[in-house]
Chain A
Amino acid sequence: MVRVVNVFLERVLDGTGAFDLLISGNATLFAIVRLSLIVTLAATALAGLIGLPLGAVVALTRFPGRNALVVVLNGLMGLPPVVAGLAIFLLLSRTGPLGSLGLLFTPTAMIIAQAVLITPIIAALARQVIEDLWAEYRDELTAIGVGPAQRVTTLLWDARFSLVTILLAGFGRAAAEVGAVMIVGGNIDGFTRVMTTTIALETSKGNLALAISLGLVLIAIIMAVNAFAWGVRQWAERHAG
């Protein structure tokens, strides 16, 4: 095992110059990482603002078509990124209904694409968490006299640690996405090029140094996010019960 790792380090990382790129603080590499984080964080925030209240409302209300909406939300968790990208491309293209906004091939379009992909994930998982919590809290909150609006805020707050984990899952999904941002962002050098699209492009060109170094950064970010999620849960269990 150690030998395999050594060979990997020697041939792939050293041999391609990926380590040099990482250690040298290559400006291109860090600009790509920076843009990737901005796009993904913004998309996660946007998806959270929409998905968390949506999940809570679906969990706490009964209305005609609710079951169909639950099925749709669950189904959209597996929405193919290229299909989402194509739909947003058609919306934002010059002849599309939102073409006048001029958003196509901009980071904003990429934020929208990632948000569209992960909003159903966040909403569907939040619905399940809040529905379970509501089953536990229903009688108590009713007896306390908590109104419908405060139920939503109370359950969102009391489910906060689970919801943070859900947001981080959404972040991980968005960060690893390539198809949709490639279509709506255009992978324009220095403007809409993010880690995943760069890896795809540079690998096809044979420039493995940049691709591998970005791959390492991407994995490190996703691992850090998961470690943070785990830490949040541990802290929550110790301090909030």
Chain B
Amino acid sequence: MLAKLEPTIPAVLLRLQGVSYRAGSTLILDDVSLSLDSGPRTILMGPNGSGKTTLLKLAMGLIDPSAGSIETSPHLRAAFVFQRPVMLRRSVAENVAFVRTAARLPFDTQTVVRLLTVVGLRDLADRPARKLSGGEQQRLAIARALAREPALIFLDEPTASLDPASTKAIEDVVVSVAASGVKIVMSTHDIGQARRLASDVVFLVKGRVVEHASGPAFFAAPATDAAKRFLAGELVI
């Protein structure tokens, strides 16, 4: 369960201690310990099935760990962007307004327009959200996340299955949001994207964190054989 960190270490937003997650008889995450500070962009990397999505869901509190503990800094407000976000059956603007209402935050038209402007969807405010393209839906999901005024946003492979133009649009939004002071924790198995975005990299293999280093250090000199092989384009199973 989520607990609150003591306010003596304000730079640490999130701390996982000995976290494991088991689905039936399958161990998805195995004894993960990890601290994430308020630096800009943490990228979770690893091959498919390494436990990235599960780790993000545990950190967000969407699922409970089978063992271990997850602590967050006091009053931390987080948001989550799913790989395939669900669009509510209403307009783009109403999707954003819905989140403001759910978060009990004041909202007006200007706030909604400002958030849609950040993600480049201002002109589509009245369009049914389910009629947007995949990339536009993902940007709307980020606008909804921002509507919660979070200190931390988890993004689970937000550009998987998007075309390069849509991917660039999402990456630009991520960089812009991080520059505004919001902590980004994003999973990807796209090495190029990780290079472009990572301030620090958490590398997972088979449910274990095998490496946590700054982005430049990780890509220049990975410390583990698994990371070296992954960056070389080999299959890491």
Contact = CB atoms under 8 A, between A and B. Distances in A.
B130 A144 contact: no
Interface string B79-90: 110100111111
Per DSSP, chain B at the interface is mixed
A145 B144 CA distance: 12
Interface stretch (A109-117, A119-127, A134-142, A189-197): A134-142
Nearest to B60: A143
A240 interface: yes
How many interface residues does chain B have, given as a range? Answer: 20 to 34
B62 A240 contact: no
A143 B154 CA distance: 10
Contact of A150 (B89, B102, B128, B144): B102
B208 interface: no
B99 A144 contact: yes
B102 A140 contact: no
Interface in A121-166: 136-137, 139-140, 142-147, 150, 154, 157-158, 160
B90 A144 contact: no
A165 to B, nearest CB: 14
A137 B86 CA distance: 7
A144 B148 contact: yes
A144 B85 CA distance: 12
Nearest to A161: B89
B103 interface: yes
B129 interface: yes
A154 B87 CA distance: 12
A145 B103 contact: yes
A45 B99 CA distance: 31
A154 B80 contact: no
B227 to A, nearest CB: 30
A137 B98 CA distance: 14
Nearest to A137: B86
A60 to B, nearest CB: 16
Interface of A: 136-137, 139-140, 142-147, 150, 154, 157-158, 160, 239-241
Given A139-B82, A241-B89, 4 more contacts: A140-B82, A144-B144, A241-B128, A241-B130
27 contacts: A136-B86, A139-B57, A139-B62, A139-B82, A140-B82, A140-B86, A142-B62, A143-B60, A143-B62, A143-B80, A143-B82, A144-B102, A144-B103, A144-B144, A144-B148, A145-B103, A145-B148, A147-B102, A150-B102, A157-B89, A158-B89, A240-B89, A240-B90, A240-B128, A240-B130, A241-B128, A241-B131
